[in-house]
Structure formats: C-alpha cells, structure tokens
C-alpha cells in the first residue's frame, strides 16, 4: 500500500543521498519523491510516497528516517488530514477540431494547454491522485505521446 510522508531536513550537501540510500539499503520502495527549499533556506521539505506492505514496515521507515542526523521531523500522512497535489505535463495528439472536447475536460479538471505545435499539444494539469488518474484516462483518448509528473506534494 502507498503512504505519503513528509520529511523536513537540513538543507545540506548529501542529505538527499542519505534519505535515498536509507530506502535502498533497507529494501523500501520509493514511488515518488519531491524535494525543495522551504521559506527557511536552511531547511528542505521532502514529500515521499512509499510502498509499505504493512504498518510495521511503515513504522520502521518513519523511525529510520528519524534516526538520520539531518532529519528534523517526519510526518506520516496516512491517518492525518492533509492536502496533496501533483502537477503533470502531458503531450497529446491534438487537432484544432478537438478543442471543444478538450474544453469540456478542463471544465472538470484544473488544466490548460500550455503549448500547441502542429498536431500536438502540451497540457498542464494539477490535482490530487484521484483527479490526475481520471484526467489521464480522459487524455488517453486523444493519445498520450509523453508524460512527466512531479510526484506528489503534500501538506497538512
């Protein structure tokens, strides 16, 4: 099962390697990882989506992360109310005649065309896990050429 956790870390050289190394050394799987500076440039915020087969594994992941010297706090969102978002960029097959169909989609989802070249358009969209999944299903009807996603961001 997938769990979302956030980790506040010292914004120091090598910290990402420590976190990533911990996951690989202990055989935990990272589904996605997003890192950036916070308001305080000395601190970075990581949102990590992990695969954990049971509560015991998840507990160990939390404890092991906490054990890293550069980790300030770990928050497990599994049982916590939180917001999460992901941004995707999707290149789809697109002809001008498709415009109304796409417009209908954007009535249901937060997204827009950010680039349009010949028979291809690049769509930008933001949403939570469920929304992104549904959106991608819709866009797939046009034919998805390429897809990049940021990985999940989560906040309490």
Partner 1 sequence: MIGARILLESLKKEGVKIIFGYPGGQVLPIFDQLYDFDIKFILTRHEQGAAHAADGYARSTGKVGVCLATSGPGATNLVTGIATAYMDSIPMVAITGQVGTHLIGNDAFQEADVTGITRPITKHNFLVKDVKDLARIIAEAFYIASSGRPGPVLIDIPVDVQRADTEFIWPENVNIRSYQPTYSGHPGQIKKAAKLISQAKKPIIYAGGGVITSGADLELKALAEKIQVPVTTTFMGLGGFCGTHKLFLGMLGMHGTAYANHAVMESDLIIAVGARFDDRVTGRLDDFAPGAKVIHIDIDPSSISKNIRVDVPIVGDAKNILKQLITEIKKLPDTGEWLKTVEGWKNKYPLTYKDDSAMLKPQYILQQLWDLTKGDAIICTEVGQSQMWACQWYQYLTPRTFISSGGLGTMGFGFPAAMGAKLAFPEKEVFNIAGDGSIQMNIQELGTCVANKINVKVLIFNNGFLGMVRQWQELFYKKRYSFTPITSPDYVMLAQSYGAVGIRVTEKTQVRAALQKAIQTDNTVFIDFRIEPEENVYPMVPAGKAINEMIEGLA
Interacting residue ranges for partner 1, rule: CB under 8 A: 9-10, 13-14, 17-18, 21-22, 25, 56, 59-60, 63-64, 66-67, 69-72
How many Cα atoms sit within 13 Å of 118 on the Cβ side? 0
User: Smaller CB distance to partner 1: residue 70 or 84?
Assistant: 70
Tell the smallest beta-carbon distance from residue 124 to partner 1 (Å). 36
Name which of 21 and 143 has its Cβ closer to partner 1: 21
Shortest Å, Cβ 56 to partner 1:
7
- Could you tell me the smallest distance in angstroms from the CB atom of residue 41 to partner 1? 15
Task: Sort 95 into a burial class: Cβ within 10 Å, 0-12 / 13-18 / 19+.
Answer: exposed
Give DSSP secondary structure letters for 80-118. S--EEEEEEEEEEE--GGGHHHHHHHHHHSEEEEEEEET
């Amino acid at each position: 099962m997938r769990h979302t956790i956030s980790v506040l870390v010292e914004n120091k050289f090598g910290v990402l390697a420590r976190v990533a190394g911990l996951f690989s050394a202990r055989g935990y799987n990272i589904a996605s990882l997003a890192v950036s500076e916070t308001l305080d440039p000395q601190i970075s915020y990581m949102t990590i989506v992990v695969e954990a087969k049971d509560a015991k594994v998840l507990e160990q992941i939390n404890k092991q992360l906490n054990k890293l010297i550069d980790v300030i706090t770990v928050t497990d969102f599994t049982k916590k109310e939180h917001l999460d978002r992901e941004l995707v960029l999707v290149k789809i097959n697109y002809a001008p005649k498709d415009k109304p169909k796409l417009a209908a989609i954007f009535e249901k989802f937060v997204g827009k065309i950010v680039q349009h070249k010949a028979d291809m358009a690049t769509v930008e969209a933001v949403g939570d896990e469920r929304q992104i999944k549904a959106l991608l299903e819709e866009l797939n009807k046009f034919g998805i050429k390429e897809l990049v996603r940021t990985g999940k961001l989560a906040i309490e």
